[in-house]
Structure 1
Amino acid sequence: MISARLFRRFAQGYRPLFAHRPFRRLLPALAVSDLGDGMSVVAVAWLAVRLAPPADRGPLIGAAVAAYVLPGVVGALVLGRWLRALPAQRLIRANAWTRAFFLGCVPLTWALGALHPARYLTLLACSSLLHAWGGSAKYALAAQVLPAEQRLAANALLSTSAWVSTILGPALAGVLATVIGPAWIIGLNALSFAALALRSGFLGAPDSPEPAAPAPDTRPGQGLRVLRARPELLGVLAVTWLFNLFYGPVEVALPLFVAQDLHAGASALGLYWAAFGIGAVTGALTVGALRNLPLRPVLLCIIAGHGLAMLPFGLPAPAAFSLVGFALGGMIYGPYNALAFKLFQDHTPADLLTTVLALRGSVLLTASPLGAALGGPLTTALGVRQVLTGTGIAMIFVAACAAALWIRRTKQHRIRTRAVPVGGPRS
Structure 2
Amino acid sequence: MTSAPRPFTAEARQRLFAAFAVPNFKRFVSGQGISLVGSWTETVAQAVLVLQLTNSAKAVGFVTAARYLPVMLLTPYAGLIVDRSDKRRVLILTATCLAMVSLLQGAMVLTQTITLPAMFLFALAFGVLSALDNPARQAFIPEMVGTGLIRNAVTLNSTFVNVGRAVGPIVAAGLIATIGISWCFLVNAGSFLCVLYALATMRVADLHPVAPTQSARGQLLQGLRYALTVPEIIGPIAMMALIGTFTYEFEVSLPLFAHVTLHGEATTYSWLIGAFGAGSVLGGIYCVVRPETGLPRMVRAALIYAAGMSATAMTSSTAVAVPLLILVGFASIMFITTGNSTLQLVAEPRFRGRVMALWSTAFIGSTPIGATIIGYIDSVNPRLALMTGAAACLAAALVGTWTNRWHR
TM-score normalised according to structure 1 size: 0.86
Instruction: Give yes or no for contact 2:247–2:392 (8 Å, CA) kept in 1.
Output: no
Q: Structure 1 pair 127/227, CA: closer, same or farther in 2 (3 Å)?
A: same
What is aligned with 1:287? 287
What is aligned with 2:19? 17
CA distance in 2, matches of 1:271, 1:152: 31
CA distance in 2, matches of 1:25, 1:117: 37
Q: Structure 1 pair 275/363, CA: closer, same or farther in 2 (3 Å)?
A: closer
TM-score normalised according to structure 2 size: 0.90
Instruction: Give yes or no for contact 1:59–1:376 (8 Å, CA) kept in 2.
Output: yes
Q: CA deviation at 1:214?
A: 3.2
SS at match of 2:141: helix
Q: CA deviation at 1:206?
A: 4.7
Q: CA deviation at 1:344?
A: 1.5
What is aligned with 1:63? 62
CA distance in 1, matches of 2:71, 2:262: 34
Instruction: Give yes or no for contact 2:162–2:277 (8 Å, CA) kept in 1.
Output: yes
What is aligned with 1:417? none
**One-letter amino acid of the counterpart of residue 231, structure 1:** P
What is aligned with 1:73? 72
Matched, 1:236 2:236: yes
Q: Structure 1 pair 329/364, CA: closer, same or farther in 2 (3 Å)?
A: closer
Q: Structure 1 pair 15/380, CA: closer, same or farther in 2 (3 Å)?
A: closer
Q: Which deviates more, 144-153 or 156-165?
A: 144-153
SS at match of 2:269: helix
CA distance in 2, matches of 1:227, 1:287: 25
Deviations 1:43-81 (A, max 9, x none): 1100111221x3xx1111112222333323344345566
Instruction: Give yes or no for contact 1:249–1:374 (8 Å, CA) kept in 2.
Output: no
**One-letter amino acid of the counterpart of residue 40, structure 1:** E
Instruction: Give yes or no for contact 1:33–1:193 (8 Å, CA) kept in 2.
Output: yes
Map 1:378-393 → 2, pairs under 5 A: 378-381=377-380, 383-393=381-391
Instruction: Give yes or no for contact 1:254–1:269 (8 Å, CA) kept in 2.
Output: yes
What is aligned with 2:269? 269
**One-letter amino acid of the counterpart of residue 333, structure 1:** S
**One-letter amino acid of the counterpart of residue 263, structure 1:** H
Map 1:241-320 → 2, pairs under 5 A: 241-291=241-291, 293-315=292-314, 317-320=316-319
SS at match of 2:204: coil
What is aligned with 1:47? 49
What is aligned with 1:400? 398
Q: Structure 1 pair 10/133, CA: closer, same or farther in 2 (3 Å)?
A: farther
CA distance in 1, matches of 2:124, 2:77: 15
CA distance in 2, matches of 1:201, 1:316: 48
CA distance in 2, matches of 1:307, 1:8: 37
CA distance in 2, matches of 1:19, 1:314: 42
Q: Structure 1 pair 214/4, CA: closer, same or farther in 2 (3 Å)?
A: same
**One-letter amino acid of the counterpart of residue 384, structure 2:** Q
Q: Which deviates more, 159-168 or 318-327?
A: 318-327
The 4+ residue runs of structure 1 with deviation greater than 6 A are 1-4
RMSD: 2.5
What is aligned with 1:215? 212
Q: Structure 1 pair 363/193, CA: closer, same or farther in 2 (3 Å)?
A: same
Q: CA deviation at 1:16?
A: 2.6
CA distance in 1, matches of 2:355, 2:386: 32
Q: Which deviates more, 280-289 or 299-308?
A: 280-289
CA distance in 1, matches of 2:79, 2:283: 34
CA distance in 1, matches of 2:296, 2:201: 40
Q: CA deviation at 1:82?
A: 5.0
Instruction: Give yes or no for contact 2:154–2:340 (8 Å, CA) kept in 1.
Output: yes
What is aligned with 2:330? 331
Q: Which deviates more, 139-148 or 79-88?
A: 79-88
Instruction: Give yes or no for contact 1:167–1:278 (8 Å, CA) kept in 2.
Output: yes
CA distance in 1, matches of 2:33, 2:137: 12
CA distance in 2, matches of 1:376, 1:27: 33
CA distance in 1, matches of 2:135, 2:42: 20
CA distance in 2, matches of 1:156, 1:406: 22
Q: Structure 1 pair 85/2, CA: closer, same or farther in 2 (3 Å)?
A: farther
SS at match of 2:84: coil
What is aligned with 2:349? 350
What is aligned with 1:138? 137
Gapped regions of structure 2 (runs ≥ 5): none
Q: Select 1:26's aligned residue among 21, 28, 43.
A: 28
**One-letter amino acid of the counterpart of residue 394, structure 2:** I
Q: Structure 1 pair 195/67, CA: closer, same or farther in 2 (3 Å)?
A: farther
Q: Which deviates more, 234-243 or 386-395?
A: 386-395
Gapped regions of structure 1 (runs ≥ 5): 414-427
Q: Structure 1 pair 290/394, CA: closer, same or farther in 2 (3 Å)?
A: closer
Q: CA deviation at 1:270?
A: 1.3
Point out the structure with max Rg over C-alpha.
1
Q: CA deviation at 1:4?
A: 7.1
Q: CA deviation at 1:35?
A: 0.7
Instruction: Give yes or no for contact 1:21–1:205 (8 Å, CA) kept in 2.
Output: no
CA distance in 2, matches of 1:294, 1:354: 19
**One-letter amino acid of the counterpart of residue 22, structure 2:** H
Q: Structure 1 pair 196/60, CA: closer, same or farther in 2 (3 Å)?
A: same
**One-letter amino acid of the counterpart of residue 49, structure 2:** L
Number of residue pairs aligned between Structure 1 and Structure 2: 403
CA distance in 1, matches of 2:239, 2:152: 23
**One-letter amino acid of the counterpart of residue 50, structure 1:** Q
CA distance in 1, matches of 2:12, 2:60: 39
